[in-house]
Chains A and B, each alone.
Chain A
Amino acid sequence: MSNAGISTENQNHPIKTVREAINEALHQEMERDPTVIILGEEVAGGAGCKGSDEAYGGVFGLTKGLGPRFGRGRVIDTPITESAIIGAAAGAANTGLRPVAELMFVDFIGVCFDQIFNQAAKFRYMFGGKATTPMVIRATAGAGLRAAAQHSSMLHPVLTHMPGLKVVMPSNAYDAKGLLIQAIRDNDPVCFLEHKLLYETSCPVPDELYTIPFGEAAFCREGSDCTIVAMGAMVPRAISVADKLAAEGIHCDVIDPRTTSPLDSEAILESVEVTGRLVVVDEANPRCSVAADISSIVAEHAFSALRAPIKCVTAPHTPVPFAPNLEDAYMPSEARIEQAVRDVLGAR
């Protein structure tokens, strides 16, 4: 476990958004390692068209500038062909490259899931340790942009379930850069999930290259009254609730696992041993989820420390709705997180 991201130690570094941090990490890693390539839909944009040679730089602008800098040979615009994108990345990873494949929205894994979970994830095991598949699948995830059911899912539970995959969910710009560089250098397939609502959030981010190891949670706030575990876009919400409660004298540990596979269960268990109370905040659907997994780990290994039933604050068991009021109700809100903390504190 370590303290990172929204902390005071980084205050002297320039302020960057998550979008800028990711873009910078891609630039720096491509500069450093000629085997790093990018492929995906409109990662440059404009191929085969009469207009700009870099019409997009990724639909959310994450790969902006890479095409002109490194050329179309390393920043490869593909057709809309997710199975072929992920397959090419996996095959290239087996044969000498370090591809960073972009899935425009994580929801699109539906059409290429075989290449992820049956191929890339299983190569190493099926082939007795002989295959190495150093690939990254970057994907935009999460609700909040009124993008409706097929562009808003949080699918980290599905990916976390799969042996052979690593799953990363940065909650701030500092972590985004360090985790992405680690993902690119990692020798296993990594799913790197970027929450849409976080792209414009910012914090101090060093200009130089650095990595953040997988499986090390960040303690965003520290306190001995309650443990709040939150992931992705839920982290800032959990921090906000913790700060509000701190003014009342209620102090919470806010733990951001940063990676759900591997998961730093040790950090969570150590915290619960002290607080005796756990609230897990996750935007994913609740059944067979990471929230359920964390609850189960704590119930199994820290049962005697618990002084209240575990509370999970998640989306309901529904697809993501379109209507703004319904989508707002779908996502775990600060009010629901705060109520959950008060509930576990009130329980005896």
Chain B
Amino acid sequence: MKYSKQLLVEAYTTMTTIRQFEERMIKEFMAGNIPGFVHTYDGQEAVGVGVCMHLSDEDIIGSTHRGHGHCIAKGCDIELMILEIMGKSGGLCKGKGGSMHIADMDKGMLGANAIVGGGPPLVNGAALSMKTLGKPNVAVSFSGDGSSNQGTVMEALNLAGVLDLPHFFMFENNHLAEGTGDEYAVSGGIAERVRAFDIPCDKVDGTDFFAVYEASKKAIKHCRSGKGPYGIEADVIRYDGHFIGDPQAYRGEGELDYLREHKDCLKIFRARVTGESWMSDAELDELDQQAADAIEKGVQRGLAAPQPTADELYSDVYSSY
């Protein structure tokens, strides 16, 4: 057996937690329990988990507007995330950030980022700190096909290359920037763009946890060893709309049914581990149930939690003023 039971359990637990978390957030949003804009990560779980399983709390990630999965994969407390997403007191960011701005510095989660392409320049900074302070860590930016068109991302790639920063650029190509396809919006290819900066970049099937895990291991080893940045373009799918409530009129007929049938990273994981007799369906079902219970507990806590106190409006603008 190539992978330890512990690794398989951790991978599946995190992936099913993300999937059920997002499905529950959609339900709670529709029930009116979540204010604002929410962008879900369901469908892309194998990428966040396949990357973050290689990272410690001292390694840093920068995320996107679609950040719940990255947060969970990096170890953020799901109950405190739910409080945050519901805008409640006690949330990870005191209810002042919301779904699009979850950060947890103690876990090396530099923040979800609601500006497409906003993250990679910041992750360069985290990588610069590691390099300057002589730490053996790695900084990872998650970006999408949409952000690959932003100048900030091109600038971040160039500077990471110029300064040989330990920055792993993970591009999750879910082929949809909001409601615009990458075949239309990305001239050329993402991996090819990264390579043009003389940064190695691999392409990987982002629906296959094991493929992402192995490719990320190589990328992260490269960054940690002081060889500079590395890139991966993961081919993934997005199940839900750009935001919860998006009717997805841009989808083709039967497209989502096809994706759910053939491109579901949890189903693909299950088929592999049961096929190899590494785990049984019953074991996986048990992990599904444990995740469901944890999310249920978090949602109940979130629903019962108080709103932030009125004085929170004014605090945390400055360290001192």
Contact = CB atoms under 8 A, between A and B. Distances in A.
Nearest to B103: A127
A321 interface: no
Q: Which 6 pairs across A and B sit closest by C-beta, in order of nearness?
A: A91-B125, A87-B121, A128-B94, A128-B93, A91-B122, A129-B316
Nearest to A82: B155
Contacts of B115: 114, 118-119
Interface hub of B60, B126, B318 (most chain A Cβ within 10 A): B318
Contacts of A130: 93, 103-105
Contacts of B104: 130
A79 B152 contact: no
Contacts of B121: 83-84, 86-88, 90-91, 115
Given A87-B120, A128-B92, A131-B105, A92 B316 contact: no
Nearest to A95: B129
Interface string B17-34: 000000000000000000
A31 to B, nearest CB: 16
Contacts of A74: 132
Given A84-B159, A262-B321, 14 more contacts: A81-B155, A83-B152, A83-B156, A87-B152, A87-B155, A91-B124, A92-B132, A95-B126, A97-B129, A123-B111, A124-B316, A126-B93, A127-B101, A128-B93
Contacts of A35: 133
Interface in A139-196: 163-164, 166, 186-188
Given A88-B159, A91-B129, A126 B152 contact: no
Nearest to A92: B125
A167 B159 CA distance: 27
B160 to A, nearest CB: 9
A166 B124 contact: no
Interface of A: 35, 37, 73-74, 76, 78-79, 81, 83-97, 99, 114-115, 118-119, 123-132, 163-164, 166, 186-188, 215, 262
In this complex, the interface size class of chain B, counting residues with CB under 8 Å from chain A, is 35 or more
B320 interface: yes
A124 B318 contact: yes
Contacts of A84: 121, 124, 152, 155-156, 158-159
Interface in B129-145: 129-130, 132-133, 139
A166 B317 CA distance: 11
Interface of B: 60, 62, 91-97, 101, 103-105, 110-111, 113, 115, 118, 120-130, 132-133, 139, 151-152, 155-156, 158-159, 162-163, 315-321
Given A97-B128, A118-B115, A126-B101, A90 B122 contact: yes
Contact of B162 (A79, A83, A96, A186): A79
Contacts of B105: 94, 127, 130-131
A126 B321 contact: no
Nearest to A187: B319
A165 to B, nearest CB: 9
A132 B110 CA distance: 11
A187 B125 contact: no
A129 B93 CA distance: 7
Nearest to B137: A95
Contacts of A90: 121-122, 125
Interface residue SS majority, chain A: mixed
A97 B60 CA distance: 15
Given A87-B124, A127-B101, A188-B319, A81 B158 contact: yes
A91 B110 contact: yes
A83 B317 contact: no
A262 B317 CA distance: 12
A183 to B, nearest CB: 13
B41 to A, nearest CB: 19
Contacts of A126: 93, 96-97, 101, 103, 111
A88 B139 CA distance: 12
Given A73-B132, A127-B97, A188-B318, A81 B159 contact: yes
A6 B120 CA distance: 44
A164 B318 CA distance: 6
B65 to A, nearest CB: 12
A76 B128 CA distance: 10
Contact of B156 (A87, A125, A127): A87
Nearest to B160: A84
Contacts of A119: 113, 115, 118, 122
A92 B101 CA distance: 19
Contact of A91 (B62, B92, B152): B62
Contacts of A91: 62, 110, 121-129, 139
Contacts of B155: 81, 83-84, 87
A131 B103 contact: yes
A88 B105 CA distance: 17
Nearest to A47: B162
A91 B160 CA distance: 13
A128 B104 CA distance: 10
Contacts of B124: 84, 87-88, 91
B230 to A, nearest CB: 18
Contacts of B62: 91
Nearest to A261: B321
Contacts of A88: 121-122, 124-125, 128, 159
Contact of A79 (B118, B122, B159): B159
Nearest to A135: B125
Contacts of A94: 105, 110, 122, 125-126
Nearest to B95: A128
